[in-house]
Amino acid sequence: MRGILSILVLVAGAALRAQERVELVGPEPGTIALGESARAELRIVDPGGTPRRPRLPDVPGLALQLSNPTQATEIVNGHMTQSLVFSLDLVPQQAGSFVVPSFPGWTGTQEQ
C-alpha cells in the first residue's frame, strides 16, 4: 500500500508543476498620442520547461517590439512563483484604434 501512495504523490506533483500560465499586464497607458508608446508585460508564470520567444502578429499601423526576457521570483506567504517576463512596446504608426489578436506561444511544456 505504501508503494502505491508514493507513486500517486509523484504523479500529482508532476501534474501540478505543469500548470504554467500566461498573463498579460497592461498596456499602460491605455490611450496614447501618435509619437508616444505604451508598454505591456507578457508573463509566463511557473514555466515547466524552456519557454520560447513568442512570434508577434502583424497589426497594421502598430509596431510591436518585444524585449529579451527577464526572470522574476515572488514569494508570498511561503509560496514561491517564478516568471519569465517579456516587455512589449506598442508604438502606433498612424492614428486610430488597434487590437492585437491572440497569438500562440510555447510556454515550456505546451503551446498556449
Q: Where are the domains of the chain?
A: 20-112
Q: Cα angle vertex 82, ends 78, 87, to 5°?
A: 135
Residue 42: all three cell numbers together: 507578457
Distance CA 54, CA 42 (A): 10
2-34 pLDDT, tens digit per residue, is: 444 334 333 334 444 548 999 999 999 989 999
Distance CA 21, CA 60 (A): 28
35-52 pLDDT, tens digit per residue, is: 999 999 999 999 988 999
- Which residue shows C-alpha cell 502505491? 4
Q: What is the pTM of this model?
A: 0.76
Residue 64: all three cell numbers together: 510591436
